[in-house]
Amino acid sequence: MFGKINSLSDCLVFFDFDNTLTPFDVLDDMVLRFSMDDNWKELEQQWLEGKIGSRECLKGQLERVRISKPALQKYLKKIRISPVFKKIIPLLKKYQAGPVILSDNFYFIIDAILRNNGIKGIEICANDLRFNKDRLTLSFPHTNSSCWKCAHCKTKNLSNARFNSKIKIYIGDGFSDICPAEKADIVFAKGNLLRHFRAKDLPYKRLNDMRQVYTFLKGIDIAESINR
């Protein structure tokens, strides 16, 4: 484990999206609102029990969703993200420390929500979708052939060679965050990620509000400014 962080330029900060930057899981809400039936519940239970991975779960659930591109765009306009994230972005960009979003959601959805909240130019690693009238066609460019659990192997992106020299800070809440968070140097955790780190007695910072992340990062920024 590393010691004191001297500069944010030594770091790279990764964020989960749903229920971390947003106040709820957008995909879960979409399925609940726009699915033709309740068959998604059985898939959700199989995923929770570890019988299927998130890729199989997402494909099965979203193939029952019926929503056009204009209707989805209208729905996404209502979704707000943590206002503190807007304060975090320029702080990290000042030091080329991110942010990088790693999500099991879809690029179109994440990018639309960010833009609706006045945010552009963020690196997003996520799944892809296209529209065929009121049906969604999915693709998963970040899978891991040696692991079936996640639709998007966040660990593979976190471990990208261009990030190897960085202190990795990870902020997340879900099952898909467990593997990448275990590879990170500092973890802010809530939800299922928090419960996992507690059970495994792994070091973490409990995440209650994004202001904690900002305060932590700003503290490094202030200390560096003082020491110059």
CA-based radius of gyration for the chain? 18
* pTM for this predicted structure: 0.93
pLDDT at 22 over 60: yes
Of 30-39, 73-82, 94-103, 139-148, where does mean pLDDT reach its minimum? 139-148
For 8-23+81-227, CATH gives: 3.40.50.1000
More confident residue, 1 or 193: 193
Tokens, residue 10: 């030594």
Nearest Cα neighbor of 15 from 170, 129, 156 is 170
Nearest Cα neighbor of 177 from 105, 227, 75 is 105
Cα separation of 77 and 202, whole Å?
38
pLDDT at 141 over 50: yes
pLDDT at 1 over 50: no
Q: What is the dihedral of CA 76, 82, 84, 89, to 10 degrees?
A: -50
Domain boundaries, the chain: 8-23+81-227
